[in-house]
């Protein structure tokens, strides 16, 4: 069983959460034989209001969450509070020490950097926060042109919509390229930006 | 003021909802001078459980919703129940009669077809439901290769992730191409599927 947790917090960016959620939960529910479980986790069981106002309820609290193999950490303006919260940073360090695969979307990378998880690693984030990422940890090897950066134990994605591409990469890495292609087909991910 | 409602219902597909939500709510919140308001609407104020298990709270009930200029109707397996519900179909017909711009994502098009909204129009839907769409209304001019189809009063998008492209088209149509490009940049929508 592979247990994937998607973190929720006040002012997390909606698509940062739901892009990976859709990809990973589609994998989990459409191919149950792969033994993947996906759930959301937050500080409390009350509704979390996301950055653009959408209100979401989490499946578990951090306290009562089942064991986690993979963590997806979204961005959004709530990360500015998260990266200054010692409880959050200690939680992330502990998960990393337990060999949880740590993945971020958008400015979720800022919180990872504040926790020291990106030290001397290649990483990326939302284009508007690349400088902040470098300030948080100058040892980071910035990759502004990458859609996502897989540095082994830690994976970071670029802004907002990049979480979809990163999540498909996770399906390929943890499952297979063939399965990732099937998930991509399921969500009809043949993007064609009209502008 | 342009009021955009994103419909929520039991077993709506998560990314069908949140793809357009992110695009349209980013437009609304980052460019308030454009006078756009985006909200979710559902049958009740209780949590809606989406198709892959995410629980979301709506901003308004249908009964108490403010006037609507644009409706975004998601797909998901919940549409099979929706398309057989006379209350849902009558609601959609009334909105259409009031000149609401009707837009669907994925199998949301099936509900539109059942309500008669796609009669003799070009339209698309999720690849796995093209046949069902044709059965619901044989007068529909199926466009299986289009990412979305704008037929004027009604816009339909292909499966799941296509809602992002359609929503950017809506920003271009209702705002401007320049604004749609800015929203695209904000959500860093430079998709690069890794598989």
Strands, E, within chain A: which ranges?
Answer: 2-7, 36-42, 48-49, 55-57, 60-61, 70-73, 101-104, 122-123, 141-142, 148-150, 154-157
Q: Is residue B191 situated within a structural domain?
A: no
* In-domain check, residue B49: yes
Overall number of domains in chain A: 1
* Residues with Cβ within 8 Å of residue A8, at least 6 apart in sequence: A17, A40, A41, A42, A48, A56, A58, A74
Chain B nearest-CA distance from A165, in A, is: 5
For residue B193, being part of any structural domain is answered with no
B195 belongs to a structural domain:
no
Decide the pairing of beta strands A101-104 and A148-150.
unpaired
Query: Residues A32-45, buried b or exposed e (16+ Cβ, 10 A)?
Result: eeeebbbbbbbbee
CATH of the domain at B136: 3.40.50.880
Enumerate the residues of chain B whose CB falls inside 8 A of the CB of residue A19.
Answer: 15, 18
Q: Does residue B136 fall inside a structural domain?
A: yes
Please, is A31 exposed, middle or buried when counting C-beta atoms within 10 Å of its C-beta (0-12, 13-18, 19+)?
A: middle
CA dihedral (B59, B60, B62, B66) positive or negative: negative
The answer to whether the pTM exceeds 0.90 is yes
Residue A193 lies in a domain: no
Range of the domain at B128: 2-186
Q: Can you list the residues of chain A whose pLDDT is less than 50?
A: none
> In whole angstroms, what is the distance from residue B64 CA to residue B36 CA?
19
Instruction: Give dist(CA B145, CA B125) in Å, integer.
Output: 10
A-contacting residues of B 126-155, CB under 8 Å? 126-127, 147-148
Domain-embedded: residue A58: yes
**From B18, B158, B184, residue closest to A193, measured CB to CB:** B184
The answer to whether residues A54 and B56 touch, using CB atoms and an 8 Å cutoff, is: yes
Asked if residue B192 belongs to a domain, the reply is no
**pLDDT tens, residue order, chain B (195 aa):** 999 999 999 999 999 999 999 999 999 999 999 999 999 999 999 999 999 999 999 999 999 999 999 999 999 999 999 999 999 999 999 999 999 999 999 999 999 999 999 999 999 999 999 999 999 999 999 999 999 999 999 999 999 999 999 999 999 999 999 999 999 999 999 999 999
| Beta-carbon separation of A54 and B158 below 8 A | no
Q: Give the gap in angstroms from C-alpha B62 to the nearest C-alpha of chain A.
A: 17
Query: pLDDT tens-digit profile of A136-185?
Result: 999 999 999 999 999 999 999 999 999 999 999 999 999 999 999 999 99
**Minimum Cα–Cα distance from A195: chain B residue:** B181
């Amino acid at each position: 069983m592979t247990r994937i947790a998607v973190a929720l917090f006040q002012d997390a960016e909606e698509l940062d959460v739901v892009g990976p959620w859709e990809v990973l939960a589609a994998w989990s529910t459409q191919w149950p034989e792969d033994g993947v479980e996906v759930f959301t986790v937050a500080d409390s069981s009350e509704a979390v209001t996301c950055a653009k106002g959408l209100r979401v309820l989490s499946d578990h609290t951090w306290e009562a969450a089942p064991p986690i193999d993979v963590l997806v950490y979204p961005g959004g303006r709530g990360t500015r509070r998260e990266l200054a919260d010692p409880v959050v940073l200690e939680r992330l360090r502990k998960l990393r020490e337990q060999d949880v695969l740590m993945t971020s979307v958008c400015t979720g990378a800022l919180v990872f950097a504040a926790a020291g998880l990106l030290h001397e690693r290649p990483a990326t984030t939302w284009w508007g926060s690349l400088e902040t990422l470098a300030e948080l940890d100058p040892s980071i090897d910035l990759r502004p042109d990458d859609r996502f950066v897989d540095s082994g134990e830690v994976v970071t994605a670029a802004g907002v919509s990049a979480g979809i591409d990163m999540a498909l990469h996770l399906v390929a890495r943890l499952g297979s390229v063939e399965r990732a292609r099937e998930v991509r087909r399921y969500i009809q991910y043949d993007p064609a930006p009209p502008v």
